[in-house]
Structure 1
């Protein structure tokens, strides 16, 4: 479906610019009239994806695990996964260029396949992203405690996590323009922090040369190193998502069919480069790598930062890290609320009448935002009852996002084989089919790696917790679809990417 060049209604002429008229006509042709304001610049759209991906949060959170599990060569997983996720981003770029509708994976799956498939795609992704918001907020707790010199107790961690979540919610409630500015501030702080920390570590505190990146230091024991690398590669697998958030806010960006595909690719390029650079600087600055692998140094990031920057400098770094956590939670919340709103607008789920409501003053979906705040808050509070339980819930987060991704990739492949020819402002042309197949193969391998049991001494349900949690989420979704099949009565357009015979 190509972009319509027809004009909008006369009453719109004073409000929309040239691109706004074009965008409104395109959206109207897709069956919608947007209530959002197109106030998000291309730079802000990229920043939203970047802060969702958040190199600082991803690397700082998983660096100790990855280094202890796979040694320095684990850094190569960032390159491998980056290429794999770029393939996924290219497919998403084709889809969003043709269907620039708020909500991301759900409306994409709806247009590529149909209502039921889209419902499950959106359900899996929404649950995963709500859990991820809780995970990021909860993960910020110890950093906030360290910044203020407070003991990182369970109660403190919960309180700090809820405070960060509340601040992210307030920013989102203030509208697209404020969200856009906050995303740019978050991106600027994070990229400057990453560059300053990385350069200083490489210049003044480098303990190894580049050859160390090919030395496992005995990680993985006597078995095949491939298994140790696969486990350590989770640092890469968990790093490279967030680019889809650029498409979640498609109705808030001018000329989205052209600009959002660029923002998605830039998120991969720049976010991946920043993550790899931070990881490289940390690896080369760890003085005693064998101690990390042996479990004697369980927090090499803090060790390196304290030695390199001292107590005052470390505090400054911690503040930058906290800005990164806040920006990440904020971007995740924006993505989740747009998906929930999109569900509501199509009348797909119980509570749609509230989810589709829109604030005329702030131009945001308030009840969808409330869902994106309350559900993560309940998960965080639940850790008071059982830290083990929240760990199990969070284990689904990354896998669920990948599953949602691959459901779209599969839908795109199916549609392509049934005659879909991407007709937006971005297209892979003859490369579309091979890239689509490669993206699906990569995604399946990544999900197998995430779900693979690696704790043989633990009870079987803990060993298979990622796969089991995914089965539970899908199972609950199937039960809901059977008991309350609102999706079948949804009147919005669907399956129109495939040519009708």
Structure 2
């Protein structure tokens, strides 16, 4: 077997380093350290997701739902540590697909990538639709369907239709930016990240300054809306869906590895940094809202969430200013998720692992971007938005289950990684000294590799079960549609069935990806790469 690096890989030799995996340098390398961090941070986008989902978590668990946030953060941080180990050794676009394929084989890798692409497309739609919760609250003129006086609530007929209009407009803009080039995308995303961080700091400061209560409230279930017959524990587990929905996508920096300068050094650290900053910022936002809300029991916090708190605390003008920053965060989030999805699609297509692979794997020599893949992700996300026109309950269910699909895709990496680590430890193989582009050792978990991997897998299994559990309050807002209540299980099952049919048709023509082995201390070796990717 040949090691992935032969000692020191200078930055100027990055194209040659990529060639060792059998790929040509087609994407343009113009993503720096901050832009790499911005990709993961914008995907998580705490302003977008916490604003969207605060009411969900609080409605289930009351003030004590806060503690689900550090619990989910810890679990996802364990996952991120494993991803960072792989990002240092496989700096390739379509990271989840590539890692799973090299660790667990071509079939597992394909289904992991298949689930990830579908999950990312639905996540793009979910992010885009969040504009409806922000723009009409800033100015009623953004309520294009029915006019300024129409009901702007996302669950109303006019609000749902307007959400589709605003979401499609946003997707047009993000698709154009993705097509223009990664340099423009990185600049826009980095600017949005700076503004989002500034907004988080301003909102947290404003909320804490107007606090009505202290930390003791976090140890109570005040405000929880317990369903008849449900226990406090089951309600608290349901409230954890909010944190689980938010803290995904930190791996997006890995999707941009082929466009990142010094990716072996940069990407592992930006994956972890994106999750750290998101975890701290999101936790402070939740605490600030709970401390500053005028009331926890009058029902407004469980329905209006964080936007209601801001308007009550800061007044119409101050609230609108901060909501404008939230709108910028929604834009950056949609852009980041679409970029990540297009890179996953491109990576699978160049292996001939998707229908229409020739078009989807094409990279513009001028812009250095996979133009067709970017457009396809945008169009499919817009089609997913259209479901919201007639049945918002269906879209709510899709928005929920897409996160379960991403968690399943993550398991498609951590499980084979654990198997490889245990196997290599049993064989007693030594470690391989590998260096990054700066001449320093690659990111490694050392002797903690197996324990961290075991805990990460255990957390993910529990999280997937919790996410897909058929809760009527999450998946069936109609209150009486059985297939909506079981939509997570049914939709994931349908995706797998369709995946089997597509995979059988494409498998004989797909290009083989070499398998990898992981040494007990986290070092990775791969077989000699396949050069023919035509």
Q: Is the 8 A contact 2:35 2:190 kept in 1?
A: yes
The answer as to 2:14 corresponding to 1:19 is no
Q: Is the 8 A contact 2:64 2:222 kept in 1?
A: no
Q: Is the 8 A contact 2:363 2:369 kept in 1?
A: yes
Q: Per the alignment, do residues 231 and 416 of structure 1 end up closer, same or farther by CA in structure 2, a change over 3 Å counting? A: same
TM-score by length of 1: 0.92
CA-CA distance at 1:139 after TM superposition: 2.0
SS in 2 for 1:359: coil
Aligned to 1:447: 464
Matches within 5 A, 1:39-438: 39-149=30-140, 150=143, 151=150, 152=152, 153=158, 154-203=160-209, 205-217=210-222, 219=224, 220=226, 223-292=230-299, 298-419=303-424, 425-438=442-455
User: Aligned equivalents of 2:107 and 2:389: distance in 1?
Assistant: 36
Structure 1 runs of 4+ off > 6 angstroms?
A: 498-501
Q: Is the 8 A contact 1:4 1:25 kept in 2?
A: no
User: Aligned equivalents of 1:143 and 1:290: distance in 2?
Assistant: 24
Aligned to 1:487: 507
SS in 2 for 1:299: helix
SS in 2 for 1:497: strand
SS in 2 for 1:238: helix
RMSD value over aligned CA atoms? 2.1
The answer as to 2:463 corresponding to 1:461 is no
Q: Per the alignment, do residues 121 and 192 of structure 1 end up closer, same or farther by CA in structure 2, a change over 3 Å counting? A: same
User: Aligned equivalents of 2:83 and 2:526: distance in 1?
Assistant: 23
- Structure 1, unpaired ranges of 5+: 8-17
CA-CA distance at 1:90 after TM superposition: 0.7
Give CA deviations for 1:452-488 in whole Å, capped at 9, x if unaligned: 2222864432222222221111121112223x1x234
CA-CA distance at 1:135 after TM superposition: 1.0
Q: Is the 8 A contact 2:123 2:399 kept in 1?
A: yes
Q: Is the 8 A contact 1:248 1:339 kept in 2?
A: yes
Question: Of residues 26, 41, 49 in structure 2, which corresponds to 1:35?
Answer: 26
SS in 1 for 2:354: coil
For structure 1, which segment, 65-74 or 392-401, has the greater mean C-alpha deviation from structure 2 after superposition? Answer: 392-401
Q: How many residues align?
A: 485
User: Aligned equivalents of 1:409 and 1:479: distance in 2?
Assistant: 25
- Structure 2, unpaired ranges of 5+: 144-149, 153-157, 435-441, 474-478, 519-524, 528-534
CA-CA distance at 1:208 after TM superposition: 0.7
Give CA deviations for 1:410-466 in whole Å, capped at 9, x if unaligned: 121122233288866121111111111110000000111111222286443222222
SS in 1 for 2:80: helix
Give CA deviations for 1:209-242 in whole Å, capped at 9, x if unaligned: 1111111127337753211110111111111112
